């Protein structure tokens, strides 16, 4: 038996917390399900789909997700694999929700980037991957759908390097021609891993490890081509490098097929063997909060009304240090208030279980802690405040009015809640027009906003798009200068952030050119 601190360190070292980022249809859902199969969580693949398909939609808003076949909400899966506890945080696959992805990425220690080998890097998803790179999250790449004809994998590697700016370093490499995927070379051993599929990929793929001489015998030309590919990778130095991987600069690549389970085990092993365990986290002042110190964590997501029969409000907290125990009083750093954690839950889709304890890397859901906001810190013992999660400068703007003025109370409540969840940003006119302006990065955020206002808050909204094209974060001094100019509006967020909105990017460029000292930041505000 070790000290309580030792136990926390041990529990942390056994945890891996990651997210999958991908373009819709690249295979994230299939892969997630196969992770559950390989971890023994389900005995037969097909169960997850059947389950969600067979369930009555729990809210109209989830119905919207289902209709569109995209994931808007993020959920958290926890499963064990090889004596490790794996936390998989879901991210929305659509670029319009890049900001949600960014928030989830603040709560993980690594990301798995899933690419469809037939599509490579699709322009719409580039933003998601860029977000990942800006956060310097270590990325493991999975090149999926190798069972079908696709691009030359070397071409996809080029795209990863040129479009995302991350150097790909394959660990496995395909053997077989497109459409006849036989297995992989494991570059670590040089051996051939032959896969055999099972019916519908419902069970684990059979794997056989074969030495290079025998592989050459059995696979002939396929083997030769794969070996040539690997020599090329060797020549250009595309070889796994731990330091640059952990810094988010290079990415180990695995190839496979989520559908037939080929390569799924390699990927899962890589999450355990290569992805980093949770570690000490920097606070607002740049000091490290040691992982074994008392409990601390931060809110990375807020979600209300996931279950309309409860009308609840859930704050997702990533544990950063110490042991969380349900019922403990935790201090909310921003208000200094003590919160009860009697209602702490795990979150698996819409299923909830009470969580009794959690360790660094885990995610707990706190129910009805209404004062919590995204980025807020909770702690026990020595005070700590983690840095806020930055938001993006919005690109789309609309004035929001209640269609039925008799429902103004519901309208206001809805706006406040959805602002808190980060569904849209809400901007106000400091000089008096009471009509709130909603602002977003992607069109679909407006759709979710209108839909939820209507169905959850009973307040239909009318959105009138404004002619603004671009926003910049500004300060009071610059705001006063801008106040008198045409084609510019200054708006303020509830948190006090000032944003200058411009009707034309050229006009903005000209002002920046003429007034280099004005504060007009294009970075995330």
- Rule CB under 6 A: choose which of 144, 222, 296, 341 binds ligand GDP: 144
Tell me whether residue 68 or residue 409 sits nearer to ligand GDP (CB atom): 68
- The answer to whether 246 and 136 are in contact (CB under 8 A) is no
- Only one residue has tokens 């309208």, namely 411
148 binds ligand GDP, rule: CB under 6 A: yes
First and final CA of the chain: distance in angstroms?
Answer: 47
* Of residues 200-239, those binding ligand GDP (CB under 6 A): none
387 binds ligand GDP, rule: CB under 6 A: no
Residues belonging to the binding site for GTP are 22-29, 90-94, 144-147
* Site string (412-451) toward ligand GDP, x via CB under 6 A: ----------------------------------------
Span of 144-152, 333-341, 342-350, 459-467 interacting with ligand GDP by CB under 6 A: 144-152
Site size for ligand GDP (CB under 6 A): 16
Q: How far is the CB of 432 from ligand GDP (least distance, A)?
A: 45
Tell me whether residue 260 or residue 296 sits nearer to ligand GDP (CB atom): 260
Q: How far is the CB of 412 from ligand GDP (least distance, A)?
A: 36
Q: How far is the CB of 457 from ligand GDP (least distance, A)?
A: 29
Tell me whether residue 259 or residue 501 sits nearer to ligand GDP (CB atom): 259
Quickly count: other Cβ atoms within 10 Å of residue 21's Cβ.
Answer: 26
Angle of helix 221-235 relative to helix 212-219, nearest 10 degrees? 130
Distance from C-alpha of 139 to C-alpha of 126, rounded to nearest angstrom: 14
* Of residues 156-175, those binding ligand GDP (CB under 6 A): none
Q: Which two tokens stand for residue 122?
A: 């699709």
Q: How far is the CB of 20 from ligand GDP (least distance, A)?
A: 8
Distance from C-alpha of 506 to C-alpha of 512, rounded to nearest angstrom: 10
Q: How far is the CB of 44 from ligand GDP (least distance, A)?
A: 16
Tell me whether residue 26 or residue 140 sits nearer to ligand GDP (CB atom): 26
Tell me whether residue 152 or residue 404 sits nearer to ligand GDP (CB atom): 152
The long-range contacts involving 431-435, CB below 8 angstroms and separated by at least 24 positions, are 435/399, 435/400, 435/401
Residues belonging to the binding site are 22-29, 90-94, 144-147
Distance from C-alpha of 107 to C-alpha of 299, rounded to nearest angstrom: 9
Q: How far is the CB of 124 from ligand GDP (least distance, A)?
A: 13
- Rule CB under 6 A: choose which of 99, 147, 283, 419 binds ligand GDP: 147
Strands 139-144, 250-255: parallel, antiparallel or unpaired by DSSP? Answer: parallel
| Full strand arrangement of the beta sheet holding 313-321 | 338-339, 330-332, 377-379, 296-304, 313-321, 363-367, 344-348, 351-354
- Only one residue has tokens 């009071």, namely 476
Give the three-class secondary structure for 407: helix
* Site string (254-293) toward ligand GDP, x via CB under 6 A: ---xxx----------------------------------
Secondary structure letter of residue 97 according to DSSP: G
Per the DSSP assignment, residues forming a β-bridge with 301 are 316
73 binds ligand GDP, rule: CB under 6 A: no
Distance from C-alpha of 194 to C-alpha of 366, rounded to nearest angstrom: 46
Tell me whether residue 29 or residue 141 sits nearer to ligand GDP (CB atom): 29
Query: Dihedrals φ, ψ of 364, to 5°?
Result: -120, 150
Tell me whether residue 30 or residue 191 sits nearer to ligand GDP (CB atom): 30
* Of residues 89-108, those binding ligand GDP (CB under 6 A): 93
* Of residues 10-69, those binding ligand GDP (CB under 6 A): 22, 24-30
The counts of H helices and E strands in the chain are 15, 30
Distance from C-alpha of 320 to C-alpha of 74, rounded to nearest angstrom: 19
Distance from C-alpha of 319 to C-alpha of 334, rounded to nearest angstrom: 17
Burial class of 476 by CB neighbour count within 10 A (0 to 12, 13 to 18, 19+): exposed
Q: How far is the CB of 26 from ligand GDP (least distance, A)?
A: 5
Tell me whether residue 259 or residue 396 sits nearer to ligand GDP (CB atom): 259
| b/e 390-417 (16+ beta carbons within 10 angstroms → b) | bbbbbebbbbbebeeeebeebbebbbeb
- Rule CB under 6 A: choose which of 145, 194, 266, 472 binds ligand GDP: 145
Tell me whether residue 31 or residue 347 sits nearer to ligand GDP (CB atom): 31
Binding site for ligand GDP (CB under 6 A): 22, 24-30, 93, 144-145, 147-148, 257-259
């Amino acid at each position: 038996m070790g000290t309580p601190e030792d136990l926390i360190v041990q529990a942390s070292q056994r945890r891996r917390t990651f997210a999958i980022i991908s373009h819709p249809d690249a295979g994230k859902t299939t892969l997630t399900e196969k992770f559950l199969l390989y971890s023994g969580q389900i005995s037969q693949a097909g169960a997850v789909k059947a389950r969600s398909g067979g369930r009555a939609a729990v809210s109209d808003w989830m119905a919207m997700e289902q209709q569109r076949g995209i994931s808007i909400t993020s959920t958290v899966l926890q499963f064990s694999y090889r004596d490790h506890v794996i936390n998989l945080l879901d991210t929305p696959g659509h670029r319009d929700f890049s900001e949600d992805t960014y928030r989830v990425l603040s709560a993980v220690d690594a990301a798995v980037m899933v690419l469809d080998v037939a599509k490579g890097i699709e322009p719409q998803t580039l933003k998601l991957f860029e977000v990942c790179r800006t956060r310097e999250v270590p990325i493991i790449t999975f090149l999926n759908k190798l069972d079908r004809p696709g691009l030359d994998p070397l071409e996809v590697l080029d795209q990863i390097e040129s479009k995302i700016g991350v150097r790909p370093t394959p660990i496995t490499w395909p053997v077989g021609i497109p459409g006849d995927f036989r297995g992989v070379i494991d570059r670590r051993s040089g051996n051939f891993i032959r896969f055999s599929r099972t019916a519908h990929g419902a069970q684990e793929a059979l794997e056989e490890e074969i030495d290079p001489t025998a592989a050459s015998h059995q696979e002939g030309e396929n083997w030769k081509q794969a070996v040539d590919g690997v020599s090329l990778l060797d020549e250009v130095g595309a070889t796994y490098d731990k330091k640059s991987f952990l810094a988010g600069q290079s990415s180990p690549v695995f190839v496979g097929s989520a559908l037939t389970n080929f390569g799924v085990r390699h990927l899962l092993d890589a999450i355990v063997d290569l992805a980093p365990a949770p570690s000490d986290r920097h606070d607002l002042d740049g000091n490290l909060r040691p992982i074994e110190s008392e409990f601390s964590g931060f809110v990375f997501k807020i979600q209300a009304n996931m279950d309309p029969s409860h009308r609840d409000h859930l704050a997702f907290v990533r544990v950063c240090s110490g042991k969380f125990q349900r019922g403990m009083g935790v201090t909310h750093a921003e208000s200094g208030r003590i919160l009860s954690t009697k209602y702490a839950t795990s979150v698996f889709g819409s299923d909830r279980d009470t969580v009794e304890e959690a360790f660094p890397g885990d995610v707990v859901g706190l129910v009805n802690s209404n004062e919590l906001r995204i980025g807020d810190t909770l702690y026990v013992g020595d005070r700590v405040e983690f840095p806020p999660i930055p938001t993006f400068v919005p690109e789309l703007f609309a004035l929001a009015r209640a269609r039925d003025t008799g429902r103004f109370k519901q309208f206001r409540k809805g706006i406040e809640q959805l602002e808190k969840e980060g569904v849209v940003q809400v901007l106000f006119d400091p000089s008096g027009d009471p009509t709130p302006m909603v602002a977003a990065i992607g069109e679909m955020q407006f759709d979710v906003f209108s839909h939820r206002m209507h169905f959850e808050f009973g307040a239909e909204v009318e959105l009138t798009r404004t002619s603004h094209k671009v926003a910049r974060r500004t300060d009071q001094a610059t705001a006063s200068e801008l106040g008198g100019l045409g084609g510019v509006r200054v708006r303020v967020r509830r948190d006090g952030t000032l944003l200058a909105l411009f009707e034309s990017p050229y006009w903005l460029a000209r002002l920046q050119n003429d007034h280099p000292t004005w504060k007009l930041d294009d970075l995330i505000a």
